[in-house]
Amino acid sequence: MTVHRVIVGALDTNCYILESNGTAIIVDPGDEAEKILERLGDLETLRILATHRHSDHIGALGKVKKALQKKAAIHRLDWMAGFDEELHDGQSIEFGGEALRVIHTPGHTPGGCCFLVGDVLISGDTLFPNGPGNTSFPGGDEKAIRRSIRDKLMVLPDMTVVYPGHGPETTIGMERKLY
């Protein structure tokens, strides 16, 4: 699998295109739909996923959905107009010979999720280099995000590469030092 990062919008949000065997899943189409679609190229997109409901992660959802005619999914606790399917903790999504596992990680938002594919974790705004995401927004919960990180992410192998919602990647091994 190949992870393509497309940095979009005023907050430099990381939109990810997960590519495997000519197919793709788009994660967090935050802004600049044209830039995302251009990077996607001729890959067959199977689905659009959102790690959470904040506008910097879903701002281009409508335009990307319309251009690709594909469904979009988000956890039920972050449900809002524009989504077609609910994500569930532990759910497996198959694409291009890979299996993406949904990990519900409440804290940044009630329905925040991370996506694990092999040794790659798309962490949205749950985990960043040097700590957890911001919990000062409505629905944020610092105890919940720390519990999510400790109980659901720090159990992953050290070599798991973490691709956050903003900024550069890190690894579980590097972040484990903080927990």
Residues in the chain: 179
Q: Note whether 83 and 50 are within 8 A (CB).
A: yes
Give the pLDDT of the chain (179 residues) as one tens digit per residue: 999 999 999 999 999 999 999 999 999 999 999 999 999 999 999 999 999 999 999 999 999 999 999 999 999 999 999 999 999 999 999 999 999 999 999 999 999 999 999 999 999 999 999 999 999 999 999 999 999 999 999 999 999 999 999 999 999 999 998 77
What pLDDT does residue 177 have?
83
Q: Give me the residues paired with residue 117 across strands.
A: 120
Q: How many separate domains does the chain show?
A: 1
pLDDT of residue 178: 78
Please tell me the number of Cα atoms within 13 Å of 65 on its side-chain side.
18
77 vs 86: CA distance, rounded Å: 9
CB 103 within 8 A of CB 113: yes
User: By the 8 A CB rule, do 162 and 176 touch?
Assistant: no
How large is the angle between the packed helices 33-40 and 61-68, nearest 10 degrees? 40
Expressed as residue numbers, the domain containing 54 is 2-176
State the pLDDT at residue 159: 98
Q: Is this prediction's pTM over 0.95? A: yes
Phi, psi for 107 (deg, rounded to 5): 145, -60
Compute CA distances 131 → 11, 33, 114, 170, whole Å. Answer: 18, 29, 15, 11
Residue 136 in contact with residue 104, Cβ under 8 Å? no
DSSP state of 76: G
If you search the block for the tokens 């590469």, which residue do you land on?
161
Take residue 63 and report the two structure tokens written for it: 């335009």
Answer positive or negative: Cα dihedral of 58, 73, 3, 133. positive
What CATH number has the domain bearing residue 69?
A: 3.60.15.10
